[in-house]
Structures are given as structure tokens and as C-alpha cells.
């Protein structure tokens, strides 16, 4: 039996085969394939499952000391110019493959329950398989060119999934926003890749680093040129991993189905950017200025996401800005020269963030039974409360996720976040302080989410509050006579849609096993996986870089570790305490203590730093205006030239047909006339 490392190229192939078969069936036999939805789901789940088995085997091989495998073939060549393609499997790749396949499997199981009444069930599973295949292909890519191919496929799949309910204006606009913003980053990435190839004649990660180092040593390149190329490449991860100022697409991506929110935020699209920066670490370490820029962007993103999350009342939006903040921590680690710490946080974050998003989907699924399918109502925490007793599995796992992300030991988030803050303290003390304060904000807003959702009294039957939320959202459309939903329909959930089932009014209850099983499963790594990254005995770092693990163990000083760790726990505990006093026992009123005293700051945060408005004017409206101008040029200039050419051709053809007599004497007369004309012209010139 071949080693898993030798057949790693099959890992993205199996989900792709399933997606292609399902997609072609949707095109050719749509009605029949939709009737076999469970068969399709099980088949696609099996294809991803096979990839997961190979991934786990490959991971165990790497743990047991097997050598990394890289296999290449010449994809295209012209003289000395060659473009290699193939795959690589190393410890980093094996860890990421196992993570992606695991999260994808759990999301697929969860989706069976969440999307069971959706008419796009088969299409959704097809997109999931294609999405996972694209991400898996990106992970095993051995060079920048191949990564770029799968990078674009990941972006395409995210567009399809964010805009899955394309008949909803919000989903359509969110998909467009994600597409436009990511094109900005992807264009920079493409320019950077081409520039690095021009400078080094290679797309390979290590060869690029060696080539740039040699160019700097022999002064064949000015210092600013490779620095610029590195920044252009970094624009791609900035967009994919939602770094300031290209983060604006990620919160709006919540318009897609909740399972895909969990997949995007945990293990696929946002992980791609962090993964690419980790792959290019040998290059970035050559430029301390570039590392500083990465750390600065990460720090700003970290603080920005947490500060905006403080004011969010939409459950999914709060988790989305939490993801933005945590991605900032990961980039901060990359800028501090600790890529393994960033990857470790990526792994731990994937576990508890997937659990939190799937838990939010479970809550929303239950709330729809009472308030209807309008996201404004089903996702607003002001209509929740008291769900802990009615949803024990969801509430317990959500609480575990909140504790983990807050950085409370011994859960996973403490070990990974503390490692990042420790490296930041050494490299950039100012950035450490911002990250330290952000840790307190994270604990506060996460437990704010928990208390508002699961504790207290249930507020979902408050009709006045429902009407207020609908009016605030501008959906008071009683007077619309064009077939839109009435306000009464919105309040009671009697909204007909091709994509959602009829509301069955009843009590909030726990979700079915297909939705609760992934939550319970993810709770275990959220608690335990952090023990693989203990600073004095990090099995995770030992797998990825044994030499670095040995150095960390030798240089570990408990006296240095404890003050930073205790400070991190204390500020997280402080955030939890404030949330407890404000939203559980209600001993303090933050609207009086903060909002009324600092209205400008509160407005600034609630308006999301006004970045959405800026993005709307610069990118969205700008791109639409550009598209309109291009259309005008096409219709007036290009079409005009084409029409003029057509008229000239028609006219000349009509004229020439009279000269086509078929008589040789007539053709000879034309030739003779032409000769006489040429003689006359040359005679006049002389």
C-alpha cells in the first residue's frame, strides 16, 4: 500500500470528482437529482471522507518522522523556460489538510439538518465539495503559480456560497462586495508573483527567498524593489484573511447560510491568507520593514474587529468581527517572526470558531420557529435570552467556545493567544499592549453574546420590539402593493420563499442530532488541543520545526512566562466580569456609563469606523461607475467602429459587384487604367 504522502494529490481530487458529477447532474437531470438529495449528500460526504482518511494518514506519517514529499512535472516549457506543477506534503501541509477535511465533514453533517428544507440543498452540497477541493489544492501547491490558481478557485467558490440565496438583495450585494474587495488583493498578489518571478526566475517558495537574498547581496536589485514585491504579494492575504482595510467583505459574508459562515471563518478562505504568509516566511524574514508592516496591519485589524464587535446586536455579525480580530492576532504573530505561533492559533481558532458559528446557526434555526425567517429578527440578540434551558447542547458548547476564545486556561485559546502575545512583547511592546487590551475586549463581547442569547428571560415574543427592529431596518412596507411581504407577515414569519420552508410556530427547542453532533465533537479539541502547544513542551512546533521546539524548551523561563500569562488571564477575567455585571445580574448600565458620556465614540464604533461607507463610495459605487463607463464605451465607441466597418464593407461590396462582370476584357481595362493613373502620379511628382 502506498504511503499517504505519495498519493497526496488525490486529496483535492476526490471532492472535485464528487462536485463535478453532482454539478453535471444538476445541469442535465435537475429534477431527478434533487429528489435524490440524501444520496447526493452521502456521496459527497464520502468523497470528502476519503480525502480526510488520506489526510489523517499523512499527518500520522509526518508525526512518525517520514520525510516531506514533493513531486513535480513540467506543465509548460519554451526553450529554457519551464513551469513546474505538482504537489508538496510537509508537516505544515499535513496539519492544514487534516484541519480542512475535518471541519468540512462536520459542516456537511450539520448542513443536512440546517438546509434540509431548502430547495437548493443539492447545489449547496456541490458548492461545499468544490470549495473544500479548492482549499485542499491550495494547501498542497508547491509554488506560487499553482497557489494562485487555487487561490482564485477559492474566491470563486466563496462568491457562489456567500450569494447562495441570490434572490435576496443582501446576499447578492454581499457576494459582489466580497468579489470586488478580493479582486483588489488578488491583483496585487498577481503583480507580486510576476515581479518575484522576474527577479528570481522561479515560483518556488524557497528558491524565491534564496534568489532575492542573492540579488540583495550582489546589488543587482535596489532594496525597494523586492520590498515592494513582498508588499504586493501581501495584498492577497490582506484581502483573503480580512485584514484592515480590506476586511469589509467578511462581516457582510454572513448573508450566506450559516454553515458556510462556519467553513469560511474557520478553515478555508480566511485561513488561506495566513497559510500563504507562513509559506513565504523565508522571504519576509529578509525584510524587517515588511515584518513590521505585517505586524502593524495585524495589530490594527485585531483592535478594529474587537472594538466593532462591542456594539453588534446581530449574533452572526458579532462572531464575524470576532473572526476579524482573531485573524489580526495571527498576522501579528507572522510579523513578529513567529509563524508557527500564528498557525497554532489558526488551528485552535478553527475549532472553537467553527463551533461558535454552528452554535449560532442552531440558535437562529430555533428562533425562526418563533420570530420567522427574517434575519433581522432571527439573528438579533435583543429578541433572544433564556435559551440555555431549552437548548442545553447548544448553550454548553457555545459557553466552551466563549471561554476558549477569551483565553482562559486550560482551554485551547489561552495557549495559542498567549504565545502570540509573548512574541509580540519581545518584538513590538506597543503592539503587545494593544493586543493585551484587545484580549480583555474579546472576553467582554463574547460573554456579552452568551448572556444576551442564553441567559435571562426569553424576549422573542415582544411584538413591539419586533416592530421597532423592522422599522429601524427600513422594512416597514405595508404600503407596497407589488407583491412584497407585509409587516404582519414579517412579524409572524409568514413569508413565502423558494429557499426556505414555511414557519411552524412553536417553542424554541434543541436542534436535531445532525446539528448538535458537530457542536459536541468540536467541543473536545476546543478544550484539549491547546495542550499540544505548551510553551515548555510544544508537540505542535516540534512537528513543524523540531529545532525551534528545542530552542523554545531550552529558553523557556517560568519567571518570564507567568507574569504575562497571569496578566492575560486577569484582563480576560475583567472583561468577563463586566459582561456578567452588565448583562446577567444587571448591576451596571453601560448605556449610562459609556454610551451617554461618550456618544461620539459609541457612534464611531456602531458605524464600524465608517469604513463600510468609505468602501461603498470607493469600491462598490466606484466599480459600478467604472462598469457603466466601460459599457458606454462599448456601446458607443466599439459598437460604432464595428457598425462603421460593417457599413463600409457593405458599401464597398455593393459597389464592387458592378465590376464583377466575368469578362476578361473588362478586367484588363481596369488594370490598364490603374497603370495610367500610377504613371500620371509619378509624372506629376517629377
For 598-635, how does the pLDDT look when each residue is reduced to its tens digit (9 = 90+)?
Answer: 788 878 887 777 787 787 777 666 666 776 777 777 67
Q: What is the pTM of this model?
A: 0.85
E strand or H helix that includes residue 537: strand 537-538
Neighbouring-strand partners of residue 204: 143
Number of residues that make up the chain: 686
* Of 391, 382, 386, 389, the residue nearest 363 (C-alpha): 391
pLDDT score at 494: 41
With residues binned 3-state (H G I as helix, E B as strand, rest as coil), the percentages for the chain, rounded to 5, are 75, 5, 20
Which has more pLDDT, 274 or 502? 274
pLDDT score at 601: 83
Q: What is the DSSP letter of 411?
A: S
Q: Output phi, psi for 495, to 5 deg.
A: -105, 120
Residue 490 pLDDT class (50, 70, 90 cuts): very low
SS3 372: coil
Which has more pLDDT, 68 or 1? 68
pLDDT score at 667: 53
- Cα–Cα distance for residue pair 275/244, rounded to 1 Å: 18
DSSP 648-671: HHHHHHHHHTTT----HHHHHHHH
* Residue 11 pLDDT exceeds 80: yes
pLDDT score at 658: 53
Residue 304 vs residues 307, 331, 343: alpha-carbon distances, Å = 5, 14, 21
Give the count of beta carbons closer than 10 Å to the beta carbon of residue 272: 25
Average pLDDT, rounded, for the chain? 85
Q: Which of 423-432, 465-474, 565-574 has the lowest mean pLDDT?
A: 465-474
* Residue 464 pLDDT exceeds 80: yes
pLDDT tens, 554-599?
Answer: 888 888 889 999 999 999 999 999 999 999 988 888 877 777 777 8
SS3 of 413-456: the string is HHHHHHHHHHHHHHHCHHHHHHHHHHHHHHHHHHHHHHHHHHCC
pLDDT tens, 319-374?
Answer: 999 999 999 999 999 999 999 999 999 999 999 999 999 999 999 988 888 887 78
- The mean pLDDT of 306-320, rounded to a whole number, is 91
- The mean pLDDT of 123-144, rounded to a whole number, is 93
- Cα–Cα distance for residue pair 196/450, rounded to 1 Å: 47
CB distance 330 to 346 below 8 Å: yes
Looking up cell 529545532, which residue turns up?
A: 547
Residue 399 pLDDT class (50, 70, 90 cuts): very high
Q: Which of 89-98, 192-201, 647-656 has the lowest mean pLDDT?
A: 647-656
Amino acid at each position: 500500500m502506498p504511503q499517504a504522502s505519495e498519493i497526496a494529490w488525490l486529496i483535492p481530487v476526490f471532492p472535485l470528482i464528487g462536485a463535478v458529477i453532482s454539478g453535471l447532474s444538476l445541469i442535465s437531470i435537475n429534477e431527478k437529482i434533487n429528489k435524490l438529495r440524501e444520496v447526493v449528500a452521502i456521496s459527497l460526504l464520502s468523497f470528502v471522507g476519503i480525502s480526510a482518511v488520506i489526510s489523517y494518514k499523512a499527518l500520522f506519517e509526518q508525526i512518525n518522522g517520514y520525510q516531506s514529499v514533493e513531486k513535480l512535472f513540467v506543465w509548460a516549457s519554451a526553450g529554457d523556460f519551464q513551469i513546474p506543477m505538482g504537489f508538496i506534503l510537509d508537516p505544515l501541509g499535513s496539519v492544514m489538510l487534516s484541519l480542512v477535511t475535518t471541519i468540512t465533514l462536520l459542516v456537511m453533517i450539520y448542513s443536512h439538518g440546517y438546509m434540509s428544507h431548502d430547495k437548493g440543498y443539492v447545489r449547496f452540497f456541490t458548492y461545499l465539495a468544490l470549495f473544500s477541493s479548492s482549499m485542499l489544492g491550495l494547501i498542497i501547491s508547491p509554488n506560487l503559480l499553482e497557489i494562485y490558481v487555487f487561490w482564485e478557485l477559492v474566491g470563486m467558490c466563496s462568491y457562489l456560497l456567500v450569494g447562495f440565496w441570490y434572490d435576496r438583495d443582501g446576499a447578492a450585494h454581499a457576494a459582489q462586495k466580497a468579489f470586488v474587495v478580493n479582486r483588489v488583493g488578488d491583483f496585487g498578489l498577481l503583480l507580486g508573483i510576476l515581479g518575484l518571478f522576474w527577479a528570481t526566475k522561479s515560483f518556488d517558495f524557497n528558491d524565491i527567498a534564496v534568489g532575492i537574498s542573492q540579488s540583495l547581496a550582489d546589488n543587482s536589485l535596489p532594496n525597494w524593489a523586492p520590498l515592494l514585491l513582498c508588499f504586493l504579494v501581501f495584498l492577497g492575504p490582506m484581502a483573503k484573511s480580512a485584514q484592515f482595510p480590506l476586511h469589509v467583505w467578511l462581516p457582510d459574508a454572513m448573508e450566506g447560510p450559516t454553515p458556510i459562515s462556519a467553513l469560511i471563518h474557520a478553515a478555508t478562505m480566511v485561513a488561506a491568507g495566513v497559510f500563504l504568509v507562513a509559506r513565504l516566511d523565508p522571504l519576509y524574514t529578509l525584510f524587517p520593514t515588511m515584518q513590521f508592516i505585517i505586524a502593524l496591519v495585524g495589530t490594527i485589524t485585531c483592535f478594529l474587529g474587537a472594538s466593532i464587535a462591542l456594539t453588534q446586536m446581530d449574533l452572526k455579525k458579532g462572531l464575524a468581527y470576532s473572526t476579524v480580530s482573531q485573524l489580526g492576532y495571527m498576522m501579528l504573530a507572522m510579523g513578529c517572526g513567529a509563524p508557527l505561533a500564528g498557525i497554532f492559533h489558526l488551528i485552535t481558532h478553527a475549532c472553537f470558531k467553527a463551533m461558535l458559528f454552528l452554535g449560532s446557526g442552531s440558535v437562529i434555526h430555533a428562533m425562526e420557529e418563533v420570530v420567522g425567517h427574517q434575519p433581522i429578527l432571527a439573528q438579533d440578540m435583543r429578541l433572544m435570552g433564556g435559551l440555555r434551558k431549552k437548548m442545553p447542547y447548544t448553550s454548553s458548547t457555545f459557553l466552551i467556545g466563549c471561554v476558549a476564545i477569551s483565553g482562559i486556561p486550560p482551554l485551547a485559546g489561552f495557549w495559542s493567544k498567549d504565545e502570540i502575545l509573548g512574541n509580540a512583547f519581545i518584538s513590538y511592546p506597543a503592539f503587545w499592549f494593544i493586543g493585551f487590551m484587545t484580549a480583555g475586549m474579546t472576553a467582554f463581547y463574547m460573554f456579552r453574546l452568551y448572556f444576551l442569547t442564553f441567559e435571562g428571560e426569553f424576549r422573542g415574543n415582544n411584538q413591539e420590539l419586533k416592530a421597532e427592529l423592522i422599522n429601524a431596518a427600513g422594512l416597514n412596507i405595508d404600503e407596497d402593493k407589488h407583491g412584497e411581504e407585509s409587516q404582519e407577515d414579517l412579524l409572524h414569519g409568514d413569508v413565502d420563499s423558494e429557499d426556505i420552508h414555511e414557519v411552524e410556530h412553536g417553542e424554541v427547542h434543541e436542534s436535531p442530532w445532525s446539528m448538535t453532533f458537530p457542536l459536541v465533537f468540536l467541543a473536545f479539541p476546543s478544550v484539549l488541543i491547546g495542550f499540544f502547544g505548551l510553551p515548555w513542551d510544544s508537540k505542535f512546533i516540534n512537528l513543524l520545526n523540531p529545532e525551534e521546539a528545542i530552542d523554545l524548551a531550552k529558553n523557556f523561563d517560568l519567571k518570564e512566562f507567568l507574569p504575562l500569562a497571569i496578566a492575560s488571564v486577569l484582563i480576560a477575567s475583567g472583561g468577563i466580569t463586566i459582561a456578567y455585571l452588565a448583562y446577567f445580574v444587571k448591576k451596571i448600565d453601560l448605556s449610562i456609563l459609556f454610551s451617554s458620556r461618550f456618544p461620539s465614540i459609541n457612534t464611531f464604533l456602531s458605524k464600524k469606523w465608517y469604513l463600510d461607507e468609505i468602501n461603498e463610495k470607493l469600491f462598490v459605487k466606484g466599480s459600478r461607475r467604472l462598469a457603466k463607463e466601460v459599457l458606454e464605451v462599448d456601446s458607443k465607441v466599439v459598437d460604432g467602429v464595428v457598425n462603421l466597418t460593417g457599413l463600409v464593407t457593405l458599401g464597398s461590396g455593393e459597389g464592387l459587384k458592378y465590376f464583377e462582370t466575368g469578362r476578361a476584357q473588362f478586367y484588363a481595362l481596369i488594370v490598364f487604367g490603374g497603370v495610367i493613373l500610377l504613371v500620371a502620379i509619378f509624372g506629376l511628382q517629377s
